[in-house]
Chains A and B, each alone.
Chain A
Amino acid sequence: DAGVIQSPRHEVTEMGQEVTLRCKPISGHDYLFWYRQTMMRGLELLIYFNNNVPIDDSGMPEDRFSAKMPNASFSTLKIQPSEPRDSAVYFCASSRPGWSETQYFGPGTRLLVL
């Protein structure tokens, strides 16, 4: 299996621009998670889906952030408009059905907002 796939791997944009991050989970995994990692705040869970349905989005920083999962093999995290404080590494992870399965992380997207 190819593992969790994220694109782009690096993104540099200017403040105010829209940014879209993409994730393809491992086939057969029905949980999908979006995380943000920064030096100051560590790893934060932003939102997670089960069977394409958002279960908890309480970690989404504000209305500028939105996430979708239109089907089992694709999810997006969008930031509009982007701000410098959004600069971080964004990870997508997926896990098999069930409460007790570990998560498999993608390589991450390094976002820099100037």
Chain B
Amino acid sequence: ELKVEQNPLFLSMQEGKNYTIYCNYSTTSDRLYWYRQDPGKSLESLFVLLSNGAVKQEGRLMASLDTKARLSTLHITAAVHDLSATYFCAVDIRNTGNQFYFGTGTSLTVIP
């Protein structure tokens, strides 16, 4: 079974600081997604990464994918309170294994 591990699981950071969330996965895939979930809410799509070396940026968030290392990162630049949420990565192997796996999630709290 594919394993998708995120770290850290919990992250508390001050406004204005930078940090990176890591997503490691255990099988070959070149399709990875990042989602955001606010407390008590549904999931919102952030990024779709479809090839080795892919980099996407939106505001203070930047996501990248290294398929050889089986690693994706979500980098937060100059954090603001509105970024407080849980962030999930998800690995898509529907083309080989008919499955779609979510990571454990990283709960981010940005402190003013």
A102 touches B101 (CB 8 A): no
Given the contacts A42-B104, A100-B31, A55 and B42 also touching, CB distance less than 8 Å: no
Chain B interface bracket (under 10, 10 to 19, 20 to 34, 35 or more): 20 to 34
A100 touches B50 (CB 8 A): yes
A106 touches B (CB below 8 Å): yes
Kindly identify, within residues 8 to 46 of chain B, every residue whose CB is under 8 Å from any CB belonging to chain A.
31, 33, 35, 41-45
Chain A interface bracket (under 10, 10 to 19, 20 to 34, 35 or more): 20 to 34
**Which B residues lie at the A interface, using CB under 8 A?**
31, 33, 35, 41-45, 48, 50, 88, 92, 94-95, 98-102, 104-105
Which applies to chain A's interface (DSSP): helix, strand, loop or mixed? strand
CB-nearest residue of chain A to B31: A100
**Which A residues lie at the B interface, using CB under 8 A?**
33, 35, 42-45, 48, 55-56, 58, 91, 93, 99-108
A56 touches B98 (CB 8 A): yes
* 21 A-B pairs whose Cβ atoms sit less than 8 Å apart in the complex: A42-B105, A43-B88, A45-B100, A48-B100, A55-B94, A56-B99, A58-B99, A91-B43, A99-B31, A99-B92, A99-B95, A100-B50, A102-B45, A102-B48, A103-B33, A105-B35, A105-B43, A105-B44, A106-B42, A107-B41, A107-B42
